[in-house]
Copies of this chain bind each other. A is one copy, B any other.
Amino acid sequence: MPRVAGIETRALACGARYHDRDDLLLVSLATGSTCAGVFTPSSAAAAPVLWSQRALRKTTQTRAILINAGQANALTGVAGEKVVAQTRDRLAGLMGIEQEQVLLASTGVIGEVPDLAAIEACLPRLVASSACDWQRAARAFATTDSFPKGASETTAIDGVPIVVAGIAKGAGMIAPDMATMLALIGVDATLPAPLLQELLRTAVARTFNAVSIDGDMSTNDTVFAIASGAKDHHPIGSLCERHAEALTAAFARVLRSLARQIAMDGEGIGKFVTLWTKGARSEEEGRRVGKSVLSSPLVKVALAYGDANWGRIAMAIGKTEVPVRWEQASIAFGERAEHVVFAKGEPVAPSPAATAALAHAMQDRRITITIDLGLSDAAPVETWGCDLTHEYLRLNGDYRS
């Protein structure tokens, strides 16, 4: 992971939940940075989510982001609000910045309040510590992710080299109540906050919002993007300008990589599934259909058992109530959609050789499904997910018992 000029990360083990590992992450933004955020739409959004949304409405001149791993601080009432207020004010005081220049995120068990005393005691040390690389930062805000998730790209604006880097923690649900997806994307370009927000919102829709592990939405999902302004280049007035194209593309690639890493680390995962939806009337419709298929317990169980059960895929398409043109529709397995199982409104009767080839392909740890809804010839829309395994049940059931 390369450094992103103007953005520093610091990590520390504060011991609020974990032992022998970092669990508190501070991201410092140079003066002149702009910041944007996308948050869970859950009506049970955690206290730090509510604060960060409020703060970003007041100013996008953010100077610090503080993230703790272990307790979600969701549905924690007055006690949770107190933790938000005190850690925020303490950090602002230590750094000599305004309240609303501090953003917060938490991940961990719902209903548990972060240990205020432990965090407060750590803050001076954290602020004074030396900066760490982004790999260590990714580890500090992980919960039970099986690997740290990071991606980066180097691009250019009018010949000026630009770095885009991102880290994420999983929607892996690898431990219960830890559905949370957190991500942080940094770029050293100069971008007005509204453009950064637009860039982030668009990319999140196509990447993080195209992942389904189990259809359960966290109370804490948060993605922050920072443009540090460290590089001097021709100003960007609109994302449609030609010299912004390379940046937009690099930004999207970083988020796509992180989103795929999250799906690959899905809880109890046996198979990583990529689903292409063709022929939808809009990108949004294509993703809605894709996520319905990837969230269907019946589809996911079939995939876990290596069954190319297209009837359940069709059922999960149908339950979206999208008016599919079935006589034009198709369902295929395989990276090149080579195993067509349903076409033009009817099941495809396979040859014995084709049946054997498909059965063999279904044993892979990576499954690709291609659906055509027959409603348009728009470009295919990509979504990602995983199967539903006995391991998922064990991981989510044995906990707390």
**Per-residue 0/1 for A285-324: is the Cβ within 8 Å of any B Cβ (1 yes, 0 no)?**
0000000000111100110111101111011111111111
Is A344 an interface position by the 8 A CB rule?
Answer: yes
Interface positions of A from 331 to 378, Cβ below 8 Å from B: 342, 344-347
Query: In the docked arrangement, what's the CA distance between A398 and B42, Å?
Result: 36
A326 and B393 form a contact (CB under 8 A): no
Is A401 an interface position by the 8 A CB rule?
Answer: yes
B109 and A307 form a contact (CB under 8 A): no
B345 and A75 form a contact (CB under 8 A): yes
A323 and B397 form a contact (CB under 8 A): no
Give the size of the chain A interface in residues (CB under 8 angstroms): 69
Name the residue on B nearest A318 (C-beta). B44
Cβ contact of A177, chosen from B176, B312, B321, cutoff 8 A: B312
Query: In the docked arrangement, what's the CA distance between A236 and B79, Å?
Result: 58
Contacts of A316 in B (CB 8 A): 216
Query: In the docked arrangement, what's the CA distance between A185 and B106, Å?
Result: 52
* Count of identical protomers in the assembly: 2
Contacts of A322 in B (CB 8 A): 43
Contacts of A398 in B (CB 8 A): 305
Is A189 an interface position by the 8 A CB rule?
Answer: no
Contacts of A347 in B (CB 8 A): 75-76, 111
Contacts of A173 in B (CB 8 A): 298
Interface positions of A from 148 to 202, Cβ below 8 Å from B: 173, 176-177, 179
Name the residue on B nearest A179 (C-beta). B315
A297 and B76 form a contact (CB under 8 A): no
Interface positions of A from 96 to 120, Cβ below 8 Å from B: 109-111
Is A135 an interface position by the 8 A CB rule?
Answer: no
Is A217 an interface position by the 8 A CB rule?
Answer: yes
Cβ contact of A44, chosen from B298, B302, B315, B346, cutoff 8 A: B315
A78 and B346 form a contact (CB under 8 A): yes
A315 and B217 form a contact (CB under 8 A): yes
Query: In the docked arrangement, what's the CA distance between A151 and B348, Å?
Result: 41
Contacts of A342 in B (CB 8 A): 75, 111
Query: In the docked arrangement, what's the CA distance between A346 and B312, Å?
Result: 40
Contacts of A307 in B (CB 8 A): 397, 399-401
Is A235 an interface position by the 8 A CB rule?
Answer: no
Query: In the docked arrangement, what's the CA distance between A317 and B43, Å?
Result: 8
Is A218 an interface position by the 8 A CB rule?
Answer: yes
Is A219 an interface position by the 8 A CB rule?
Answer: yes
A401 and B305 form a contact (CB under 8 A): yes
A selection of 16 A-B contacts at a CB cut-off of 8 Å is A43-B317, A43-B318, A43-B323, A44-B314, A44-B318, A75-B314, A75-B326, A111-B314, A176-B309, A177-B312, A216-B298, A216-B315, A301-B392, A305-B398, A306-B401, A307-B400
Binding site for B on A (CB under 8 A): 40-45, 72, 74-79, 109-111, 173, 176-177, 179, 214-219, 295-298, 301-302, 304-307, 309-312, 314-324, 326-327, 342, 344-347, 388-390, 392-393, 396-401
16 extra A-B contacts, CB within 8 A, seeds A75-B347, A177-B311: A40-B318, A42-B319, A43-B318, A74-B315, A75-B346, A76-B347, A77-B326, A78-B345, A111-B311, A215-B297, A216-B316, A219-B318, A297-B396, A301-B397, A305-B396, A307-B401
Q: Which 9 A-B pairs have the closest CB atoms?
A: A44-B318, A110-B311, A305-B397, A77-B346, A42-B318, A217-B319, A77-B345, A301-B396, A214-B297
